[in-house]
Structure 1
C-alpha cells in the first residue's frame, strides 16, 4: 500500500509539473502573439497618421479665371521673339483678371490682399501656355491657376462647415472671396502634378519632389555600380581564395564591425576624404554615392559570403573532379547558384542606403536645390533630405507635403524589399 501511494504521489507531481510547463508555454506563446499584435498596431497607427496627413498633398487648390493675353500689358511686340515671351509680365495679366472678377475691390492694400489668392508662380503656367500656343496672344481664355498655400490649406480643412476651416494668415476679406469663388464653382481641388514634376521651392504650392527623386536615383546608381561588384569580389576572395590566418580573421572581424557603425560616421569619412582631400564638389550625387557605397559594402559582403557558404561542397567537388579550374568552378558553378542570395542582400542594402539621411547631410546634400539634376555631377538633394528640410519649414502646407514625400519614399522602400523577396523566391534553388 505504501509503495502504491508513493507511486501515486510521484504521478501527481509529474502531472502538476506538466500542467505548469504547459501553462508556461501558453503564456510564452501569448506574449509572442501580443508582441506581434502590438508591433502591427504601432505600424498601422504610424501608416494611418502619415496617410491621413499626406494624402491631401496629391491635390491642389486651383482658381478659375478669365485671363486676357493682352500684348500691351505683356509688352510683347513679336510673338516669335523668345526673349520677349520669357520676360513678359504674366503676373500683371493675372492681377487684371482678379480685378475683373472682383471689381468692387479698391485700395492698394485690398488689391494686394486680392492678388495673394493666386500663387506668385502661376505666371509660369501662362508663359508655358503662350510659348506652346502663340496664337493665344490677344485672346481671353479661361484657365485654372494654382492658389496660394494659405488658400489651399483653408479649402482642404474647410469640409462642409466653413467655421471648422483653418484660416491661418487669411483675412476676413480673403475668406469672403474664397467662399464666393467656391459658390460659383471657380475654385476646385485638382490633381497636383506640380508635386511630381517640380523641384524644391520656398512656396509650398510650388514645391515638388522630382529634384529629390532624381538626386536619390543618381546617388543610388553610383552606389550600385561601385558597391555590388566590389562587395561580390571581396566575398568571393574571402570565401574561396583567402588563406585562414590572422590577417583574414582581422579583416572579417572589421567587416562585421563596419556593418554596425552608425551611418553618420561614413558621412564624416566621406567629408574628410572625398571633399577634404580630393576636393570634390559638395552636394553632388557622385559624392553621395561614394559615401553610401562605403556604408553598403559590409552588408553586401556579409550577405554574399553567406550565399556562397550555402552552396553545397559537392557542387565544388563535382566541378573540380570533371577537370574545371578553381576559377571556372567559382564563375560557372558557385556564383550562379549563390547569386539569388547575393541579390537579395544587395537590394536590402540599397534600400537601406536609399533611406539614409545623416551621411548625406555631412557632405552638403542638405542644400536648397531648385533645378532638376541631369547627372551625377550636378548639385542635388535626396528624398530623405528633402523630407528633413520640409519638416523644418514653418508653413502649415509643408506638413502634408512632408507626409506625402514620406509616402513616396516608403513606396520605394517597400517596392525594393518586395523585389528582393520575389527574386529570392524566383531564383532560389534547393538541394
Structure 2
C-alpha cells in the first residue's frame, strides 16, 4: 500500500469519525430541544390554568342598611341581631342596579353573590351600629359560578353553570363597571375554605415555612457533622462501610416509607400530635439527611489534599485542619446540597399525607405544634375538589410553589458563587 492509499484511508476514517461526532452533537441538541419543549408545555399549561387564580371578581353595590328590611328592630339586642336578615339589603341593592328584576328573581339574584356576602354586611354593622339606616358602598366577591363565567366564558374546558338570564345580568353589570376584576389579595391573605372564592394559600405557606425551619435546624447540622466524621475521622472498617452503603441506599428509598416511619415512631410511639409542622419537619429531616450527607462528603472530598498537608505542616491539629481549613472550603458545596435537599423536601406530599397533614385546616398556624398543612398537600386537596373554581386555585398554588423552588435553587447557585474559594 503506497502513501497515497494510506492517506485516503486516513481521510475516510476521519470523515466517518466527524460524521459520528456531528450525529452525536445533533442527538444532544435534539434532546435539549425536547426537554425545553416539554418544559415550555408544562409551564404554559400551568400558567394558562392558574393565572386567573390571581384575579378576583367583585361586585360593588350601594347597600341600604334599612333596619325594617333586615327585620332588626333593636340592634342592641344580641338575639335580635343574630336573627336579622342580612341578605335582604343585598337583594335590594341588586334590584336597584337591575330594575327589570322582581321578587320572583330573588333566588337567582342571590346566586350572583358569594355565600359570605351577608356575613360582610353583618360584620360591618357589628363594628359600627351608627351605620344602621344609611346607604353604604360595599364590594363583595361574586359567587364561584359568576367568577367562572366572567373569566372563562369563552373557554370550552369550563362548564358555565349560570342560566341565560343570569348571564345577561352579569353581562349588563360588567358593561356598567359594577362587576370588575382585580388582583386577588384574598388568595394570599386567607387560609383554606370550602368556598373557592375565599380559599387562600397563606395557611399553607406558613405551614410550609414552619416545617422547613424544623427540617433545616435538624438536618443541616446533623448531616454536616455526620459527613465530617465519616470523611475525616471514621476508621475504614466494615462498620463504616456498612453505614456508607446504607446512607446511599436511604437516598433512593421512596419518600412514602419515611412517612410510614414517622407515623410509627413520632406519632404512635412518642405520641406527638398529627398534622403539625414539628412532626412534618422531623419526617422531612429523615428524608433529607442522606442527600445532605452525600453532598457534604462530596464537597469535603473536593478539597485538595495539599490544604490539609499545609495546615498539618505548620502544626495544626486534626480538628483545626478540619474546622479552619477544610470546612470553609467545602461549605459552598455543603450549602448547595442542603438547599437542593430542602427544595426537594418542600415539594414532597406522600410522607406528609401519612402523618395527617392532609386535614382541612382553615386557620393560619402560629406555632410548630399548631395544626397546619403545606403547599403540596393544599394543591393535592384542591386538585381533587369537584368545584371548577378550585382548578385555577390549584394551578395558582402550583405557580407559588414553583416560585419558592426556583428561588431556593437560585439561592443555592448564588451562595456557591459567593462563598466559593479558588486555590
Shift in Å, 1:102: 3.7
Specify which of 370, 378, 403 is matched with residue 411 of structure 1. 403
Structure 2: give runs of 5+ residues left out of the alignment.
none
Does residue 189 (structure 1) correspond to residue 184 (structure 2)? The answer is: no
Does residue 240 (structure 1) correspond to residue 235 (structure 2)? The answer is: no
Does residue 122 (structure 1) correspond to residue 117 (structure 2)? The answer is: yes
Match in the other structure for 2:20: 24
Specify which of 231, 249, 269 is matched with residue 257 of structure 1. 249
Contact preservation (8 Å) 2:47, 2:399: yes
Does residue 50 (structure 1) correspond to residue 46 (structure 2)? The answer is: yes
Shift in Å, 1:190: 1.3
Q: Give matches, 1:143-182, under 5 Å.
A: 143-158=138-153, 168-182=160-174
Does residue 220 (structure 1) correspond to residue 212 (structure 2)? The answer is: yes
Match in the other structure for 2:353: 361
Distance 1:53 1:356 in 2: 22
CA 381–74 in structure 1, closer or farther in 2 if over 3 Å, else same: farther
RMSD across aligned positions (CA):
2.4
Match in the other structure for 1:93: 89
Contact preservation (8 Å) 2:215, 2:281: yes
1:375-403 CA deviation, whole Å, 9 max, x = no partner?
11111111001111111111111111111
Contact preservation (8 Å) 1:55, 1:404: yes
DSSP 3-state at the match of 1:65: strand
Does residue 37 (structure 1) correspond to residue 33 (structure 2)? The answer is: yes
Distance 1:237 1:67 in 2: 70
Distance 1:134 1:339 in 2: 62
Specify which of 370, 375, 379 is matched with residue 371 of structure 2. 379
Distance 1:299 1:68 in 2: 62
Q: Which moved more, 1:9-18 or 1:197-206?
A: 9-18
Match in the other structure for 2:323: 331
Q: Which moved more, 1:69-78 or 1:326-335?
A: 69-78
CA 41–62 in structure 1, closer or farther in 2 if over 3 Å, else same: same
Contact preservation (8 Å) 1:226, 1:293: yes
Distance 1:321 1:85 in 2: 85
Distance 1:85 1:8 in 2: 108
Distance 1:83 1:242 in 2: 74
Shift in Å, 1:132: 6.1
Specify which of 381, 406, 412 is matched with residue 389 of structure 1. 381
Match in the other structure for 2:221: 229
Structure 1: give runs of 5+ residues left out of the alignment.
none
Does residue 316 (structure 1) correspond to residue 312 (structure 2)? The answer is: no
Q: Which moved more, 1:173-182 or 1:28-37?
A: 173-182
Q: Give the TM-score, by structure 1 length.
A: 0.91
Does residue 293 (structure 1) correspond to residue 289 (structure 2)? The answer is: no
Q: Which moved more, 1:377-386 or 1:8-17?
A: 8-17
Q: Which moved more, 1:130-139 or 1:277-286?
A: 130-139
Match in the other structure for 2:107: 112
Contact preservation (8 Å) 1:158, 1:165: no
Shift in Å, 1:336: 1.8
Q: How many residues align?
A: 422
DSSP 3-state at the match of 1:144: strand
Shift in Å, 1:320: 2.9
CA 143–339 in structure 1, closer or farther in 2 if over 3 Å, else same: same
Shift in Å, 1:327: 2.0
CA 424–180 in structure 1, closer or farther in 2 if over 3 Å, else same: same
Distance 1:84 1:304 in 2: 67
CA 372–267 in structure 1, closer or farther in 2 if over 3 Å, else same: same
Distance 1:196 1:87 in 2: 33
Match in the other structure for 1:136: 131
CA 86–305 in structure 1, closer or farther in 2 if over 3 Å, else same: farther
Shift in Å, 1:11: 2.2
Distance 2:309 2:84 in 1: 77
DSSP 3-state at the match of 1:367: coil
Distance 1:365 1:97 in 2: 42
Contact preservation (8 Å) 2:73, 2:80: yes
